[in-house]
Structure 1
Amino acid sequence: MAAARFEIAGDACPQLLNRLLGLLAQQDRVPDSVIARREGDMLSIGIAIDGIDPHRAEIIAEKMRSMVSVLHVQTQLD
């Protein structure tokens, strides 16, 4: 198991944060931390999860990337 950090950039859509957290809920995961910041028309979100399988983290990242309002997802595994 590893720790994963997702750095997401997307449009400042009111539903984006809920949709991203919904992906984790589908996996029965609760994030250790969530930081969201709006900068004009953009939303910057950081999500950290400890004790996740690296393959599972990559699957979640790919699902995040497929969302319409998401522009960029960077994943860091420790």
Structure 2
Amino acid sequence: MTADVLFTVDAFAEPGLLPRLLQPFAKRDLTPDHMLARREGEMLRVELGLHAMPAEMVHLVAGNLGQVVGVMRVTETRREALRAAA
């Protein structure tokens, strides 16, 4: 089973943050389909989206993202939930 997932990460804008956020995907042989980073003052908001991500890995990756140094919050949104709300 797969899921379309959007991870949103709020973290302190620090050098090296973006490659650290990609590590949880790389170690599971996953490549995000899109990544968007926006600086908001001293914080950085990063969105990482994957289409057809193995469903059993969603919570594992979210947990690993939350352990990255500088990360304050991680939210995961399944794309089906976004379509239903629209």
Q: Output the TM-score relative to the length of structure 1.
A: 0.93
Is the aligned partner of 1:21 residue 2:22?
A: yes
Q: Secondary structure of the equivalent of 1:28?
A: coil
> Aligned AA for 2:36?
I
Q: Secondary structure of the equivalent of 1:21?
A: helix
| Aligned counterpart, 1:10 | 11
Structure 2: state its 5+ residue gaps: 81-86
Is the aligned partner of 1:38 residue 2:39?
A: yes
Aligned length: 78
Q: Which runs of 4+ in 1 moved over 4 A?
A: none
Is the aligned partner of 1:68 residue 2:63?
A: no
| Aligned counterpart, 1:57 | 58
- Aligned-residue Cα RMSD (Å) equals 1.0
Identity of aligned residues (%): 31
Higher helix share: 2
**Residues 3-49 of structure 1, C-alpha deviation per residue, up to 9 Å, x if partnerless?**
11000000001111101112111111111100001111100000000
Structure 1: state its 5+ residue gaps: none
